[in-house]
Copies of this chain bind each other. A is one copy, B any other.
Amino acid sequence: MGFEAFWYIDLLGTFVFALSGALAAIDKRLDLFGVVVIAFVTACGGGLIRDLCIGALPPAGLVNLAYLGTVGLAVALAGFFQARLLRLAQPTLFFDAIGLGFFAAFGVHKVYSLVPDVELAVLLGVVSAVGGGVLRDILLGRVPVILSKDIYASAALVGALVQLTGELQWLPVHVSAWLGIGLCTTLRMLSLRYGWNLPAIKKAP
């Protein structure tokens, strides 16, 4: 199994991230264009930063209509089934966790294939996974949620590190990928279930 088989999971990740962006934008009462922009940025923004940093131009998200189409579909669904989707928070979080793991693993793979540098691959793998959400929050005028709570970026970091074992050929690359995605998703879901958080540094009085 090559990374080609990841294509559908990639679109699934894009879809779920776009959905979360669209719901946040509707909540802020943006107009139709604003909702599409936020959904697109949430889904493709992390990969865009990654591609700019390794010079993989033009960025993948801007030249493949499948991404734009997937975002359009997510916006349409968010518009028509908003109330129902909000009740589905649990499954949405599950798909989001899968998307997180996949984007982290795929980001590491793309970066390490082009520029074989361990630090770069891990940093940009995490950026691939969480960058879109950070841009979404900046555009919506709030402090990026991933900076203040939940095991989220840390789960992406675990996924990225596991995928690295594949790039370094300690494990077959498809084993490391599924292992990384699985661990990241599991860690994320467990942290939600049990309310795990990273420690905060206590603020001096």
Q: A residues near B, CB below 8 A? A: 25-35, 37-38, 48, 52-55, 57-59, 62-65, 68, 78-79, 82-83, 86, 115, 117, 119-120, 123-124, 134, 138-144, 146-149, 153-154, 197-201, 203-205
Chain B: which residue is nearest A57 at the CB level? B55
Whether the Cβ atoms of B204 and A147 lie closer than 8 Å is: no
> A27 CA to B201 CA in the complex, in Å?
9
Per DSSP, are chain A's interface residues mostly helix, strand or loop, or mixed? helix
Assess whether B53 is in contact with A62, with CB atoms less than 8 Å apart.
yes
Could you tell me the distance in whole angstroms from the C-beta of A152 to the nearest C-beta in chain B? 8
A154 to B33, CA, bound (A): 7
The answer for the CA separation of A199 and B33 in the assembled complex, in Å, is 9
